[in-house]
């Protein structure tokens, strides 16, 4: 929709200069001139175009540039790239045009931000391909992804104007990829806002309820913070420390996740806020010493909980985060978390990578200093380049590996000589072996972890000491790929297997072709399709290799060929008896024709009442097993069926992030004729007759059928796990409420 008159120029120009003036940096006249030139080009390119919200399109790149300059703190080249980030994608301008006007670097940044508009192979995820392209550019210049995060944040801020299906796609993609990426780069504020906005659109009712509860407790919370901080303020003033002290509420998303993880109510979360002390460093003492000095002053007033001490100043996090976290006992027997950090630490904690480098550039003495953050980021980028260089997977598989290797939390494990090795959480012994050296990984047969013998598949924990065991006659095995998680380990295993695979391929191909010819047939594409389907392998290359390696036997090939021979004979007899001109059934119902012509992704699936589940146009995802009443999302699985997940299911979030075009609107109706399986756990203090009382409530009072029951009792405690059939979450919640009233039961929760 286009404007008939250029009535927005002055408004856009005012927004541009406001953005430049509010930047965290100061610019020379030449730098302002380049940014202004980028604005004028973007304005002309997007002239007359409006966003879904109705505002002029140019306001979006200006808003992105403002986030880049004001919230991240990047320079004029990044501002220019932010202003131009949609020009090549949405207009007739090319990257060559941008390079001619603004130079190679700005053109590179814009190119890294330009999405593919289409991909010929429709089985490929455009979302995944675009993200992979962005990561390729990021490996050379990290500013690409910083600008993209700003773009995504503004899209999330204006998501309300989009259609519900589009909201679901963008929100899931943000939670799956962009929020973890912001966290990894230390952009805490951006990561937190992304998570909160995702929740606002995916779970609006829960979001509003939590917002209301937070607001309702604000007065009481503020009063408590004031009471808590008064003696601290007095002590800091007595020692002439320049500081700022404040109480900060946790984000809505983090509160909700804690409620979900711990299975507790809002009222049961005691650490809703943290008190933060940000001090101005003095020349007579380094920042680390000053943190501990303030720690000493605070713990003179309040008793600390030593088990909850988090020292991120001696060992900063890999994303550059530095802070001293302590938990102390405040008034009324209430634990309070207190964060102590310098002004520099606080800026890096809030703004991440860009703030770190800006701080270094402003302090000549630090410019040649290699901080732990520098080393960690360099290693992270090196691992990213390694993944990109060695990746033979499609973009979707690449994203899964990226999330597992580069976004995951890290653990620290140690060699027998005490050298620390950092690995992604959930790494196995084989990952450690390849991290040490490729030769050790290729010859590995097992390990001693904390002096105990373990297999290569053993999952390592933080602080483990690992001694690898090797053998000269060992070689990499294909089954290692089932538990190897790091990209380095997986790539090295694949490289080692390639030599064998080529030999296996030729051997398997020859064996299969000989078998086919022995049945009087000739190898062809249709026959290979039937054989690969029978073996449940992806393609004939995999088929040849696995047959050649002896993993698959030729018996299935022979079965397919016998069936092929028999089906040809039966088809011949059918044609002889019935005639080749057999009429096809016609469907003249106009409503059926109209439904068939409608794109499947646009149809809404109503989960109907009283229908046999096997005949419904949907199936229930086995990973999360949603039941009526759960917030759900659907994905097209076949032309006539949708797969239903819970919205909070990690598999659903991943699928929506990678294949947003498959999302379909779904909603529950009453299912009084259908039962759904749900799992609950019951725990508490054991007594004679307790299990009988539990079963009586389930079977007699609630009339619920039990499919599976597993009960354990030890040391006076018990834990039961039950699979029960229910109609909806209402039935399940009623059941949980009844069970919680049983004597001895302390906790009942749905898994």
The residues that are catalytic are 89-90
Buried b (16+ CB within 10 A) or exposed e, 489-505: bbbbbbebbeeebeebb
- What tokens appear for 676 in the block? 């759904």
**Alpha-carbon distance 287 to 281, whole Å?**
6
Buried b (16+ CB within 10 A) or exposed e, 203-223: beebbeebeebbeebeeeeee
**Alpha-carbon distance 483 to 429, whole Å?**
9
Nearest to 441 by CA among 431, 451, 455: 431
Nearest to 180 by CA among 410, 252, 64, 188: 188
**Alpha-carbon distance 724 to 706, whole Å?**
5
CB 567 within 8 Å of CB 518: no
* Residue recorded with tokens 């993209």: 148
Task: Estimate the crossing angle of helix 126-140 against helix 650-658, to 10 degrees.
Answer: 80
**Alpha-carbon distance 694 to 743, whole Å?**
10
* Residue 605: partners with Cβ closer than 8 Å, 6 or more residues away: 617, 618, 634, 642, 664, 665, 666
Nearest to 209 by CA among 271, 134, 265: 265
Which residues are registered as beta bridge partners of 542? none
Task: Estimate the crossing angle of helix 188-202 against helix 343-351, to 10 degrees.
Answer: 40
**Alpha-carbon distance 15 to 63, whole Å?**
8
**Alpha-carbon distance 554 to 557, whole Å?**
5
**Alpha-carbon distance 421 to 415, whole Å?**
8
Phi and psi at residue 243, to the nearest 5°: -155, 170
Nearest to 111 by CA among 67, 147, 69: 147
* Residue recorded with tokens 């992270």: 380
**Alpha-carbon distance 1 to 52, whole Å?**
9
CB 355 within 8 Å of CB 347: yes
- What tokens appear for 248 in the block? 């900060």
- What tokens appear for 723 in the block? 């699979």
DSSP string, 573-618: HHHHHH-TTPPPP----HHHHHHHHS-GGGPPEEE-TT--GGGSSE
Q: Any idea what DSSP says for residue 162?
A: S
Nearest to 540 by CA among 557, 555, 558: 557
Q: Hey, how many other C-beta atoms are within 10 angstroms of the C-beta on 353?
A: 23
CB 320 within 8 Å of CB 353: yes
Phi and psi at residue 674, to the nearest 5°: -125, 140
Q: Hey, how many other C-beta atoms are within 10 angstroms of the C-beta on 444?
A: 22
3-state secondary structure of 422: strand
Which residues are registered as beta bridge partners of 274? 248, 337
CB 631 within 8 Å of CB 729: no
Burial class (CB in 10 A: 0-12, 13-18, 19+), 418: exposed
């Amino acid at each position: 929709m286009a404007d008939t008159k250029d009535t927005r120029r002055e408004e856009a120009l005012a927004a541009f200069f406001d953005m430049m003036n509010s930047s965290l940096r100061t610019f020379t006249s030449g730098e302002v001139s380049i940014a202004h030139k980028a604005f004028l080009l973007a304005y002309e390119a997007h002239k007359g175009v409006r966003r879904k919200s109705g505002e002029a399109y140019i306001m979006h790149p200006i808003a992105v540039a403002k986030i880049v300059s004001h919230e991240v703190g990047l320079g004029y080249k990044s501002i220019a790239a932010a202003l131009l980030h949609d020009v090549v994608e949405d207009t007739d301008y090319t990257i060559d045009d941008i390079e001619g006007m603004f130079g190679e670097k700005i053109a590179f940044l814009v190119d890294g931000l330009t999405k593919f508009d289409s991909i010929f192979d429709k089985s490929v995820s455009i979302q995944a391909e675009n993200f992979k392209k962005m990561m390729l550019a990021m490996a050379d210049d990290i500013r690409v992804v910083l600008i993209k995060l700003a773009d995504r944040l503004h899209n999330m801020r204006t998501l309300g104007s989009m259609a519900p299906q589009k909201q679901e796609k963008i929100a899931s993609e943000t939670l799956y990829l962009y929020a973890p990426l912001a966290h990894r780069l230390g952009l805490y504020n951006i990561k937190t806002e992304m998570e909160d906005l995702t929740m606002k659109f995916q779970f609006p009712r829960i979001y509003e309820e939590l917002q209301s509860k937070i607001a309702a407790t604000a007065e009481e919370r503020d009063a408590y913070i004031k009471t808590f901080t008064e003696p601290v303020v007095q002590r800091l003033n007595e020692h002439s420390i320049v500081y700022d002290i404040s109480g900060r509420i946790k984000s809505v998303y983090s509160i909700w996740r804690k409620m979900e993880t711990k299975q507790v109510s809002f009222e049961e979360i005691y650490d809703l806020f943290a008190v933060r002390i940000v001090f101005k460093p003095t020349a007579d003492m380094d920042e680390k010493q000053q943190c501990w000095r303030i720690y000493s002053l605070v713990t003179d007033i309040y008793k600390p909980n030593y088990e909850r001490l988090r020292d991120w100043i001696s060992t900063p996090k890999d994303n550059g985060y530095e802070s001293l976290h302590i938990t102390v006992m405040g008034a009324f027997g209430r634990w309070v978390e207190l964060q102590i950090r310098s002004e520099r630490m606080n800026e890096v904690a809030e703004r991440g990578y860009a703030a770190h480098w800006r701080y270094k550039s402003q302090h000549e003495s630090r410019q040649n200093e290699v901080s732990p953050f520098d080393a960690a980021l360099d290693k992270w980028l090196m691992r990213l380049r390694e993944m990109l260089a060695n990746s033979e997977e499609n973009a979707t598989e690449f994203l899964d590996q990226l999330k597992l290797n580069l976004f995951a939390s890290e653990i620290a494990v140690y060699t027998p000589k005490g050298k620390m090795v950092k690995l992604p959480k959930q790494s196995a012994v084989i990952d450690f072996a390849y991290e040490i050296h490729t030769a050790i990984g290729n010859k590995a047969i097992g390990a001693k972890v904390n002096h105990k013998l373990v297999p290569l598949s053993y999952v390592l924990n933080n602080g483990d000491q690992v001694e690898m065991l090797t053998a000269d006659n060992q070689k990499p095995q294909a089954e290692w790929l089932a538990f190897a998680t790091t990209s380095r380990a997986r790539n090295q295993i694949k490289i080692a297997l390639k030599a064998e695979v080529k030999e296996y391929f030729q051997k398997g191909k020859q064996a299969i072709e000989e078998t086919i010819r022995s049945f009087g047939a000739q190898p062809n594409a249709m026959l290979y399709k039937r054989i690969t389907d029978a073996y449940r392998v992806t393609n004939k290359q995999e088929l040849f290799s696995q047959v050649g390696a002896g993993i698959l036997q030729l018996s299935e090939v022979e079965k397919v060929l016998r069936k092929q021979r028999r089906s040809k004979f039966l088809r011949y007899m059918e044609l002889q008896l019935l005639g080749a001109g057999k009429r096809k059934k016609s469907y003249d119902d106009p409503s059926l024709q109209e439904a068939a012509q409608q794109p499947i992704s646009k149809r809404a699936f109503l989960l109907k009442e009283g229908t046999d589940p096997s005949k419904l146009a949907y199936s229930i995802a086995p990973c999360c097993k949603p039941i009526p009443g759960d917030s759900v999302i659907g994905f097209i699985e076949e032309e006539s069926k949708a797969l239903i997940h819970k919205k909070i299911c990690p598999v659903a979030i991943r699928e929506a992030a990678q294949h947003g075009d498959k999302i379909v609107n779904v909603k529950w109706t009453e299912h009084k004729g259908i039962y759904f399986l749900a799992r609950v756990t019951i725990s508490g203090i054991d007594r004679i007759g307790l299990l009988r009382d539990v079963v009586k409530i389930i079977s007699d009072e609630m009339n619920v059928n039990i499919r599976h029951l597993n009960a354990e009792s030890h040391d006076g405690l018990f834990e039961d796990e039950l699979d029960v059939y229910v109609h909806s979450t209402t039935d399940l919640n009623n059941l949980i409420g009844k069970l919680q009233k049983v004597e001895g039961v302390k906790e009942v929760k749905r898994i």
